[in-house]
Amino acid sequence: MILVVGGANQGKTFYASEKFQISHWIFGGDCDMETVCLAPGICHFELLVERMIRKGENPKEFAEKLIKLNPDIIIITNELGCGLVPMDAFFRRYREEHGRVCTFLAAQAKEVHRVFCGIGTVIKG
């Protein structure tokens, strides 16, 4: 599994598409869980995490299952932990849980790339 992280609108998907030769990404905002487990890559993983939290599901358990079922997946996600802390309790919880899932994924990943202004830097691997 490869994790690609960075701020919003920093060129993560373009970078990963070029680097890993993937032309079709599953979108975390509306994909079903079975599709993610078969996909070569998912973009906006943070939106999948948000949907899971809203449904009362555990995103870390799903991440564990995902990397077992699809060990070659490339996961693209926004960094949510930088900047202002949200006033809304749900969004604070979402930010915290997303950070925990990303920490888990980064520990399991064979590579982690951080993209800033369209430039990718390998921070693991």
> Exposed (0-12), middle (13-18) or buried (19+): which is 44, by Cβ within 10 Å?
buried
pLDDT at residue 57 in the model: 96
Structure token pair of residue 36: 């993610």
pLDDT at residue 11 in the model: 97
Q: What is the number of domains present in the chain?
A: 1
Q: What angle do CA 14, 1, 93 make, to 5 degrees?
A: 80
Report whether pLDDT(81) > 90.
no
Greatest pairwise CA separation for the chain in angstroms: 39
Secondary structure of residue 7 in the 3-state scheme: coil
Q: Which domain holds residue 60?
A: 2-124
Name beta bridge partners: 75: 3, 42
List phi, psi (to 5°) of 80.
-115, -10
- What CATH number did the domain enclosing 59 receive? 3.40.50.300
Report whether pLDDT(33) > 90.
no
List phi, psi (to 5°) of 15.
-55, -50
pLDDT digits (tens, 9 = 90+) for 88-100: 999 999 999 999 9
Band of pLDDT at residue 82, cut at 50, 70 and 90: confident
Report whether pLDDT(84) > 90.
no
Whole-model pTM over 0.85 = yes
- Contact of 10 with 120, CB cutoff 8 Å: no
Percent of the chain with pLDDT over 90: 92
Band of pLDDT at residue 71, cut at 50, 70 and 90: very high
